Structures are given as structure tokens and as C-alpha cells.
Amino acid sequence: MRELLLELLGWLGYLERPVVLLQLAVAIGLMVLRRFAARRNWLPRLRPQAYTPLALGLLATTCLLLALLRLPYGLSGQLGVLWLGWYGLNLLQPLLQRRLGAAMARQLDSRLLRPAYLLLAATMLISTLDSLRDLAVAPLGSVLGVPVDAGRLFNAALITYLLLVGSGPPAAGMAWLVQRAVGLSDGSRKAMELMLRYTVVGLGLVGVGMHLGLNTTALIAVAGGLSVGLGFGIKEVFSNFISGLWLLFEGSVRPGEVLLLDDDHCEVRKLGLRATLLWRDRDNAELLIPNQTFFTEATTSYTASDRMRRCQVDVGAAYHHDPHQVIALLEATALGVDTVLAEPAPKGLLLSYGDFAINYGLRFWIANPIEAPVISSAVNLEIWRAFKQQGIEIPFPQQVEYSMVWPPEQHRPNVDNH
């Protein structure tokens, strides 16, 4: 570690030169100026996207002036080229979105393209300040009794990152081929994809340990420590991991399924190894539910075998209306709503005789469970309109007072007007 620090301190001698400081001040100043100009729109005639080419043009002009004055301009030119490449990645984003889709393009850009470009930029800048070979052999210390230098640690970190990021597409392709050959379900294919990916990552980490020079005894010691951690500290994480794999194989909770969670309809968006991502329609919220929750608590699913769901709305009608007429009107009203299925047919029911109204229920079927509250509201509005057209009264709570005589034995009901 001491040798590496000495190498880094040696960069200060290069950065203290007035010409180098001038180049850094010009390049960094133009970057900051471009950001402020675009944010505050100093030039209204220009679009915000045009500020970056303008700043790059000013930087190129500055490099040309330094060259004419026979002053060094290599660092500012290098920073300008790197800035131009970063701007090119922004221009590449719309093309990737058209080819791969917005989600896949963002994932590729954030996880692979930009980290790789930043690594390339750092390598170019370091090669300007120092020798990469000298930095690679700088010792950093020891890990489990094995000496490690900067180059070996850098290679190990790079391989680990590539394993975590790049193992997904090959695992997905292999699982897709197995699904085509054997006829697995989508849940089993997803489970196989994740298992293949983490198997590759696990084997890769073992290979990284061997690359660092760790012996098998050290690896066994690390595995033993992890097993103790699983037993005490991270048993919940391990339980969610196993639960996620089980759910994928079983297929009981799949992406696109509609579940009832705390009286809210939620759609399963993503089934991960630790938690399941649910989408709640009423407030456009995304919920992360631990996987083991689906094993320890009862869950209501509206799409386990099919997506049809039966809904029911309740309404009251006055006693002087014929119940047969009310039931027929309720069933005809439900069929008039576009999102209500005609088969199975809606069914009207007389539920009970209330204190001031006869209570009816209307049961109907819908195709999309997530829209149950919206469709029920539409059915209620149509019932209101139909009752108003047919003159059917929906009574409100009321009480009738009768005068009584004392003692109660002498009381006679008021039946003169009935």
C-alpha cells in the first residue's frame, strides 16, 4: 500500500505545473459553464441539447490556440475527447431504445456501457499521469496470508463485475433453449435462469479467489464463516432466497397475476430472489413483499386458474316494488355495461328484508380482476340511472312513531290507515 500511495503522490508533481493547471481549469470550467447555461437557458435561441456541442467547440478552439502558442494542450485535448465520447453515449440512447426497448436500453446503458466507458477514461488518464505497469505491481497487502498487488486486485474486481452483469443474458438463453426442448413452464424457465446465473457467479467467485492465490483451506474457512452467518445473521435473507426459487418452480405466484393484499388488488410485476414486486392500481404504488410471506400467510389470487372474477354490488329497493321486476332490471342493467361478461350471465338475488327496504344483490363476472372497483362503480351508476327511469325508489333510513296508551295491555295498533 505504501508504494501505491507514493505513486499517487507522484502525480502531484505533474498536476502542479502551471500549463497543466490552465488546461484543467479550461476544461472543467467549460463543463461547469455548460451545465449552468443549459439549466438557466442563457441562450434562449438554442435548445438545451446544443450547449454541449458549443462547449466542446470552445474547448477545441482553446486547444488550437494553445497549439499556435506552442504550449502543451494534450491533457485538455484528452479531456475533450472523453467528454465527446460521453456525449456520444447520450446520442446512442435513442437508437438503443428503438432496437431493444426502453427498459433494456437503460439497463444496458447504466450497467455496461457507461461503467466500461468510465473505466476506459480512467485508464487513459492514469496512463497520461503514470505507467500502468508500475501501478499494477504495487503491493497492497495480504488477504488470508496471500500477498495481493494492485493489478491482480483490479482484475479480480473487473471479472467479478462482469460475472454479475454479463451472466444474465447467457443464462436466459440457455434456459430458453431448455424450455423449448423439454416444454417447461415460464416459472420453471425463470427459476432455471436464476439458478444457472448464480451457479456461474458462484463458480466465477471461486475462480477469482484462485486467481488471487487463495488456497482451498482459506476458501473453506470463508465458506464456514458464511454458514455461521446464515445460521445467525442473515437467515431471513436465505429464507427469502429459497422461497423465491420455490415460488418460481411451483408457479403459484407468477408475473401478471392479480393478488388481494390488505383488501387491495395488486398485480405481480417481478418475482425476485429476495422479494416480490407488486403494483397497486388505486395509487400507482409499487410494493416489495418478502417471498416467505407467501408461505407463512394466506394469499387470495384471482388469476391462479383463470382471470375471470365474480363481483357483487348491493342495493335496496322500496317494499312496494315487485321483487321479480327489480331482479330482472338489475340483470338487464349489468348486461348493458361493456366490461361485464355476458357468459356467465349476471344474477340478481333477493338477499334479505330490511327495516325500510328489500336488500338485493347483483352478481356479475369480469375478465380483468384489477379493474373490479372501476367496473363495480360503473354498474352502480347504471343501476341508479335504470331505477330512476323505471321509477324504482331506493329508500333512505326512516322511523315511524306511534302514540301508545298506558297500561300497555290497553294499546291497540294504529291500523286505521292501513
CATH number at residue 284: 2.30.30
At residue 332, the pLDDT reads 93
Same domain, 274 and 358: no
At residue 229, the pLDDT reads 60
CA dist., res. 230 & res. 210, Å (int): 24
Is pLDDT above 90 for 360?
A: yes
At residue 276, the pLDDT reads 86
236-291 pLDDT per residue, tens = 777 777 777 777 777 677 777 788 887 788 888 887 767 888 888 878 888 888 88
Domain tally, the chain:
3
Q: Where are the alpha helices (DSSP H) in 16-73?
A: 18-40, 51-68
Helix axes 18-40, 51-68, angle to 10 degrees: 160
Same domain, 319 and 270: no
231 versus 32: which is more confidently predicted? 32
Same domain, 259 and 375: no
CA dist., res. 354 & res. 156, Å (int): 76
In this predicted structure, which of 145-159, 206-220, 272-286, 323-337 has the lowest mean pLDDT?
206-220
CA dihedral over 189, 193, 194, 199, signed as positive or negative: positive
Full DSSP string of 339-355: TB-SSSPPEEEEEEE-S
Same domain, 318 and 347: yes
* pLDDT, mean of residues 73-86: 85
> In whole angstroms, how far apart are CA 56 and each of 64, 102, 117?
12, 28, 18
Judge whether 156 lies within some domain: no
Is pLDDT above 80 for 220?
A: no
Judge whether 16 lies within some domain: yes
At residue 377, the pLDDT reads 94
CA dihedral over 140, 143, 145, 148, signed as positive or negative: negative
Judge whether 24 lies within some domain: yes
* pLDDT, mean of residues 221-229: 64
Q: All 3 cell numbers of residue 287? A: 410494493
Judge whether 143 lies within some domain: no
Q: Rounding to the nearest 10 degrees, give the CA dihedral for residues 208, 209, 213, 214.
A: 180
Is pLDDT above 50 for 418?
A: no
Judge whether 205 lies within some domain: no
Q: How far, in whole angstroms, is CA 140 from its chain's centroid?
A: 39
Task: Among 136, 165, 190, identify where a domain stops.
Answer: 136
Judge whether 188 lies within some domain: no
Is pLDDT above 60 for 414?
A: no
CA dist., res. 125 & res. 74, Å (int): 11
Number of H helices, E strands in the chain: 15, 10
CA dist., res. 167 & res. 191, Å (int): 15
Q: What is the mean pLDDT of the chain?
A: 80
Angle at 120 between CA 115 and CA 126, to 5 degrees: 125
88-130 pLDDT per residue, tens = 888 888 888 887 778 778 877 888 888 888 888 888 888 877 7
Judge whether 242 lies within some domain: no
Run of H or E including 186: helix 186-212
At residue 116, the pLDDT reads 86
Global pTM value: 0.56
Is pLDDT above 70 for 413?
A: no
Same domain, 345 and 265: no
Same domain, 90 and 21: yes
Is pLDDT above 60 for 230?
A: no
Same domain, 359 and 274: no
Residue 183 is given by DSSP the state: -
Same domain, 28 and 121: yes
CA dist., res. 221 & res. 212, Å (int): 16
Same domain, 83 and 1: yes
CA dist., res. 315 & res. 323, Å (int): 12
Query: In terms of residue numbers, what domain contains 261?
Result: 248-301
CATH number assigned to the domain comprising residue 320: 3.30.70.100
At residue 190, the pLDDT reads 73
Find, among 294, 290, 289, 316, the residue nearest to 304 by Cα.
294
Is pLDDT above 50 for 208?
A: yes
At residue 353, the pLDDT reads 93
Same domain, 103 and 77: yes
Same domain, 35 and 129: yes
Is pLDDT above 90 for 316?
A: yes
Is pLDDT above 60 for 416?
A: no
